[in-house]
Structure 1
Amino acid sequence: MIDLQSGGLPRRALFILIVISLLLLCWWVVFLSGGSALPHVHLVYVPIIISAFVFGPPGGVAAGVAGATLMGPLMPLDVATGQEQSFVNWSLRGVYFTGFGILVGGFRWALNARNEKIVEALNYDSETKLYRTSAFLHNISDCFVNRPENQRDAMIQFAVKNYDELIVAFGLEAYEAAIQSASARLSSAVPEASVLGRSGRDRLNVFLPDCDRSDAMQITAQILEILENSEDATGVALVLSLEAGVAISPDDASESEELLRAAAAAIADGALTSAQVHSFDRRTNDLRKENLELLAELRRALMNEGLAFYAQPKARCRDLSFCGAELLVRWNHPERGFIPPDQFIPLAERSHLRGAITTHALRSAFAYIGSLNIEDQPADSRISVNLSGEDVTDERFPERLSGLFRSNPNFLRRLELEVTETALVRDWAVAVPVLEALREMGITIAIDDFGTGYSSLAYLRDIPADTIKLDRAFIKDVVLSSQNQCIVRHAIDMAKEFGLTSVAEGVEDEATMHWLCDNDCDMFQGYWFARPMPQADMLSWLDTKSS
């Protein structure tokens, strides 16, 4: 039925007046046309339909009875002769009118019930009966328009961190039962003026009007204790591992949707911390936006060959002769200028772009091996490329690499692939066979940043490696630090015991170089010997070095 509640009595009276007016108009038209014997009598169905649609079956009955009366006892069969209708004639017509009104009103009731179910499904979550996101935002939108100047409103979003784990272990039905229980507890725990909602399967939202940040943080901590003790309908204890984000309006956002995004952003920004309750921080949020923009630009740079790979030469300790180079990625952004690798490489690894960077690096390595005539150098001269955890856990990586060197497979013997201990931890069972396959192709494997990972001794024993690269953190102050000297000396000795080549990174001065050479380190690299340089400069540097 048409909603009369919003208009109250005046609107109801207006519709009644319209129906009465139409009934009288129909009577007048039928009377002027000659009486009820003519087809014009059926005009009365119009006000009956309107009344039934507005007021349901009762309205259809009332209009039907009124129509039957107007077109029966009050309407001659023939106006010209004054012939009256028989009782049977106008009473049957009244039955038709009334029955039609009931039928239309019943249809309207059924349609209205169906619409109410649709509206409920669109606005309310079926399990928790909380507002869905769009309805939630609509219901709190007025608070942002009529709010007093000094009032603060809080948005809290609760996220179920172990959602996937609970679904896999207990199933969707048990999880939804736990969420239903949690939402009931939430409803009883928040202030009366609060508005509750649900976003997706793993988010619950709470809007707290007239609540500042400190109060919101305190309330959130109290609610977390209540929510994490929910049980499913079967009594099985399901531990909901929750964290919450808090955002305040107008400090963090001035609109409802923006405020909800800010609360979600607080959760995302606090993912790497141990805290359960995270407050929105605009600087962190701006940094995330900047990183996302940078990621999109990195994707374009990869498509348009916008990345370059500089080579940093390595030297043998015994005679300071050139023995290859490590390729280091460089991004000279057309607007931002030089962007350090530690700013975009982590972004690439989180978005699966790291593999594309590796492909570009391998192509550059192939070009360097050819242009620098590495094959004519001593056997230990190689071009090194850094791999990611995504690369070493990809069983198809050796085949992909072989395809990149298809035009000259002999170059593979002059390629060294560097992998960190951290990357290997990603999937040890897959990484080791991949590394073994690479070694069978003639490629040497280096453990990069040795000593900074998880279990260096175990890796030395189990990794199919040829080289260890001592991290610059130990090399930087090795001349002055007795502790660093002890660590580096033992690492070099272990490398020799295992038959591995030792390479020191970050050699910045002559004293460090001499200390490493005096302690039997095999190779080193760093600014003291040579800075990273593009391929053309590398050729000139080699010519100068040889002369």
Structure 2
Amino acid sequence: MSFGLGTFVHGWFAEPEHGIFIIALGVSVALNLSLALATLHRQRAFANMRQAEQSFRDLYDNISEGVFRSTLDGRMISANPSLVRLNGYQTEAEMLRAVNNIGSEWYVDPSRRDEIHQILLDTGKATGLVSEIYRHNTRERIWIEESLRLVRDKRSGDPVHYEGTVREVTETVRRLELQDHYDKIASIVSGCLYQFRMRPDGATCLPYASIGLEHMFNLRPEQVIEDASALLALTHPDDVAHVRSSIEASRTTLTAWQCEYRVCLPDGILKWVFGHSVPEREADGSTLWHGYLTDISERKRTEATIHHLAYFDPLTRLPNRTMFRERLGQALSAGRENGQYGALLFIDLDHFKMLNDTKGHHVGDLLLSEIAGRIRACVRHTDLVARLGGDEFVVLLRELSSSSDAAAEQVKRIGHQVLAVIDRPFLAEDYEFQTTASIGVALFCCDDLDVDEVLKRADLAMYEAKSLGRGTLRFFQEEMQEVVEDRLALTSDLRRALVEGHFALAYQALVDRSGRWFGAEALLRWTHPTRGPIPPGEFIPLAERSGLMGAIDKWVLHAACATQREWQRDPATRDLRLSVNVSAHQLNRTGFVAAVEGALRETGADPSRLTLELTEHVMLNDIDDVSAALLHLKERGVSFALDDFGTGYSSLSYLKRLPIDTLKIDRSFVRDIESDPSDREIVQTILNIAASLEVSTIAEGVETEMQAVLLRQRGCKAFQGFLFAMPMPLDAFLAELQVNQLEAEQKFRRAQLVRPKGQAAVNFSRRIPPSEA
């Protein structure tokens, strides 16, 4: 039997078991096919994921912005290469090891991290936050902009970490700061910004001008856009040529234009203007300047004020030392060139300090202003009158003559005219004051002299004039220089004497009416190693001028107190008083009281046996301050004597305010008391004043028996002078004291044995030969 394939298949599938097989086979094929397809899709997905991951990694590694992730406490978890480089590191691992706390290590302001943290807690993210940080590895300060978010746990919602991006914006911040700086400057700077064009044919215009143009020149910008002649026409006639030439020079050379000039506004106001601009050449040959104009009127006024203050004395309005030195330098150069003599007159007022101290500086200023005008009226308009300071004036005379004799005659005439006008009385605030002046003159011509040398010569001649009695004129002589050099050498030796102990004290006895020594005055002496004894009248002024008086005063006070302390130990000297002179310099020092108390404390001297002698010039100082200082020492037991009474500023009202114990009658009244009734009257007046003030008196400079008798008859209670004892070293003084005490004791004993019938003249003294002093 034959049959076809179809019959077979139909027959085969007709069997039940055969159908189940076929179905199972189909399912198996389908499953295998599905697995194959799933595997293929998975492989493709993995490939895409790896590709995406690689793309993300490439982006992460190469992106210009820094990308990071950090813990909540500021420790860095990850950082891309850009952030690593931004912080100055080479690798991510290096940076992660270095950064422990971003808040304290990264931000310049440590609180900035807390601020950002709070923003993230409130909003979850933040963008565009600009902060100043340290480049972590180098500590360089830079600016960054960061955007970040707070990542939370998806289940609990708790914060897990931060992640974000960072980019450096240092240049942007600096540029903005600079722009802000420029904007602020522009807002406060007055002036006009402009463009100025000059065409080849000379026509001008201002293509641009800021509103400052109207403020400065009362011109609106539109008025000069096409034609700048209205602006140029405001230039001061005297400055037009200067402005035009400076513009032309800038146009020709294409260099910056700078110019200061004046403008005259239609309302009559005069202004100073400063212009600055930079030129460029345009294609058509025109020149275009970019610049600004500013009003410098106030600056010019200030400069004029400064110039006046720098070169003129504000009180007298005369040229000051600075201008004088410049003009003298010019005069010296001119004299060397033309052979004409010039002269410098150095004028110093006599006793000006007394007026200042007694009537006040305002009266002194009135006097100086009046004198300045009087001197100016004596000289030619070409001559210079200047005030150097204080009461010192100078007159500079130029081109007097080619003959030194003729020049000197002219100087004498002018100088004596100046002396005459200064000698006339002055009236200031109803107070009439008369003064004199001393003038020193230095001629100059072809000499190789500088300003300082000429000034020094005139100054030396002025001091010579003062030494001759004041109110005189003296020309410089070469021998004056020798005197000055000798003074300088002596001043140097004076400094050395203080260090090397060349000073000593001499002691001159103070004697009562019976002739008994009750004390002594300590007097400073200087024995020069090569010159021998130097008189106090020679070295004391040098000490005052050289600033050594303070140190010398301190030495004298300490040495005298030390002597007084030694006297306390000996019954023969225990009751003696010791007087010490106090200079005006010493009294004027703020530490005067402390210096006296210090000397007493350091030496152990008894203040009740110490007398400080003051001059009447003490009353020219602040009387309240002086009185307070003296009263303080008075409470310690110190006594005070007013020395040279009657020769200075004798004011009873002031005298009553000072705790003075003794008035010392000056030797100038004692010297001629035998022959001059006026001196006898003055002495009697002083004794009456002392009696009314209930203070004692000591007559100084007693040299004859008759002087002593006359003083005693008028009630003087104590004496000092060569009649009784010369100043002598301490050992000699103590020896003579012993003799005096012995004589006094013998005289007392004789007085007890013999009672005189009448009053007889008393032999006050035992003369001390100079050889014993």
TM score, norm. by length of structure 2: 0.44
Deviation at 1:520, TM superposition (A): 4.1
Match of 1:464 in 2: 659
Given candidates 497, 516, 523, the residue that maps to 1:328 is 523
Please say if 1:255 is aligned against 2:455. no
TM-aligned CA deviation for residue 244 of structure 1:
10
Alignment of 1:398 with 2:593, yes or no, is yes
Matched residue SS, 1:308: strand
The one-letter amino acid of 2:490's match is L
**Equivalent residue, structure 2, for 1:415:** 610
Say whether 1:154 aligns with 2:348: no
1:225-244: per-residue Cα shift (whole Å, max 9, x none)?
A: 99xxxxxxxxxxxxxx9989
Matched, 1:508 2:698: no
Q: Is the CA contact 2:318–2:387 (under 8 Å) kept in the aligned structure 1?
A: no
Answer yes or no: is the 8 Å Cα contact 1:415–1:443 preserved in 2. yes
Distance 1:491 1:253, change over 3 A: farther
For the pair 1:345 / 2:534, whether they are aligned, the reply is: no
Q: 497, 501, 511: which is aligned to 1:301?
A: 497
| Higher helix proportion (structure 1 or 2) | 1
**Alignment check: 8 A CA contact 2:567 2:573 kept:** no
Aligned equivalent of 1:92: none
- Offset of 1:420 from its aligned partner? 1.7
Instruction: Tell me which amino acid in the other structure corresponds to 1:446.
Output: A
Letter in 2 for 1:451: G
* Cα pair distance change 1:333/1:223, threshold 3 Å: closer
Deviations 1:1-27 (A, max 9, x none): xxxxxxxxxxxxxxxxxxxxxxxxxxx
Residue correspondence of structure 1 range 231-380 to structure 2 within 5 A: 247=441, 249-250=443-444, 255-257=449-451, 258-263=453-458, 280-282=475-477, 287=483, 290-318=486-514, 320-373=515-568, 376=571
1:512 positional shift: 3.2
> For structure 2, which runs of at least 5 residues remain unmatched after alignment?
1-245, 255-282, 290-302, 363-368, 402-406, 422-434, 743-773
Relative to 1, partners in 2 of residues 1:284 and 1:63: Cα closer, same or farther, differing over 3 Å?
closer
Find out whether 1:209 has 2:399 as its counterpart.
yes
* Percentage of identical aligned residues: 28
Highest relative contact order (Cα 8 Å, sep 6+), 1 or 2?
Answer: 1
* Residue type at the aligned position of 1:535: L
Q: Post-superposition shift, 1:459?
A: 5.2
What's the offset of the Cα at 1:146? 5.4
SS for the counterpart of 2:524 is: strand
For residue 464 of structure 1, report the CA deviation from its aligned partner.
0.9
Q: Distance in 2 between matches of 1:242 and 1:452?
A: 19
Tell me how far 1:336 sits from its aligned partner.
3.1
2-structure distance, mates of 1:132, 1:204: 12
Deviations 1:20-50 (A, max 9, x none): xxxxxxxxxxxxxxxxxxxxxxxxxxxxxxx
Higher deviation after alignment, 455-464 or 397-406: 455-464
Whole-angstrom distance in 2 between the partners of 1:457 and 1:436: 18
Cα deviation for residue 311 of structure 1 reads 0.5
Q: After superposition, give the CA deviation of every residue in 1:59-112 in whole Å (9 maximum; x if it has no partner).
A: 999999xxxxxxxxxxxxxxxxxxxxxxxxxxxxxx9xxx9xx9xxxxxxxxxx
CA contact (8 A) 1:140 1:256 kept: no
1:247 and 1:259 in contact (8 A); partners too: no
The 8 Å contact of residues 159 and 244 in structure 1, kept in 2 or not, is answered as yes
Q: Which residue of 2 aligns with 1:175?
A: none
SS at match of 2:510: strand
- Residues 332 and 444, structure 2, Cα contact 8 Å, conserved in 1: no
The verdict on how the C-alpha distance between 1:242 and 1:360 changes in structure 2, with shifts beyond 3 A counting, is closer
Q: 1:203 to 1:509 in 2, by over 3 A?
A: closer
CA distance in 2, matches of 1:491, 1:482: 14
Q: Using the alignment, how far apart are the partners of 1:515 and 1:459 within structure 2?
A: 29
In structure 1, stretches of 5+ residues that fail to align are 1-55, 65-94, 103-116, 170-177, 227-240
1:502 match: secondary structure: strand
Max radius of gyration: which structure? 2
Which residue of 1 is the match for residue 733 of structure 2?
538
Give me the whole-angstrom Cα distance separating, in 2, the residues matched to 1:515 and 1:276.
Answer: 37
RMSD: 5.5
Aligned counterpart for 2:673 among listed residues 461, 471, 478: 478
| 2:41 counterpart residue number | none
Is this contact kept in 1: 2:662–2:695, CA < 8 A?
A: yes
Which of 153-162 and 482-491 deviates more? 153-162
Residue in 2 that maps onto 1:67? none
Counterpart of 1:455 in structure 2 is 650
Q: Answer with 253-262 or 302-311: which moved more.
A: 253-262
CA deviations over 1:98-153 (Å, ceiling 9, x no partner)? x9xx9xxxxxxxxxxxxxx9xxx9xx9699999956764554455554566xx633
CA deviation after TM superposition for structure 1 residue 224, in Å? 12
Q: Relative to structure 1, is the Cα distance of residues 374 and 253 closer, same or farther in structure 2, using a 3 angstrom cutoff?
A: farther
Counterpart CA distance in 2 for 1:546 and 1:386 is: 26
Distance (whole Å) between structure 1 residues aligned to residue 384 and residue 692 of structure 2: 65
DSSP 3-state at the match of 1:376: coil
- Quick check: 1:393–1:427 contact (8 Å CA) kept in 2? no
Output the CA distance in 2 between the equivalents of 1:451 and 1:160: 24
Task: Check whether the contact 2:345–2:396 (CA below 8 A) recurs between aligned residues.
Answer: yes
**Residue 443 of structure 1: aligned partner:** 638
Report the CA distance between 1:58 and its aligned residue.
9.1
Shift of 1:214: 2.5
One-letter identity of the residue aligned with 1:338: P
- Who is 1:46 aligned against? none
Q: 1:432, CA displacement in angstroms? A: 1.5
Q: Deviations over 1:170-211 (max 9, x none)?
A: xxxxxxxx9xx99xx99xx858xx687989789776451243
Could you tell me whether the CA contact under 8 Å between 1:198 and 1:205 is conserved in 2? yes
Count of aligned pairs? 423
Match of 2:443, as an amino acid?
A: S
Alignment of 1:165-184 (within 5 A): none
Q: Cα deviations across residues 291-336 of structure 1 (Å, max 9, x unaligned)?
A: 4543443233223322211001122222x22211101111122233
Measured in 2, the distance between the counterparts of 1:517 and 1:243 equals 42
Do the aligned residues in 2 keep the contact of 1:372 with 1:539 (CA within 8 Å)? no
1:465 aligned counterpart, secondary structure:
coil
**Contact preservation (8 Å) 1:374, 1:381:** no
Matched to 2:398, the amino acid is: L
In structure 2, the CA distance between the partners of 1:487 and 1:265, relative to structure 1 (3 Å rule), is closer
Does structure 2 retain, via aligned residues, the 8 Å contact 1:324–1:374?
A: no
SS of 1:209's equivalent? strand
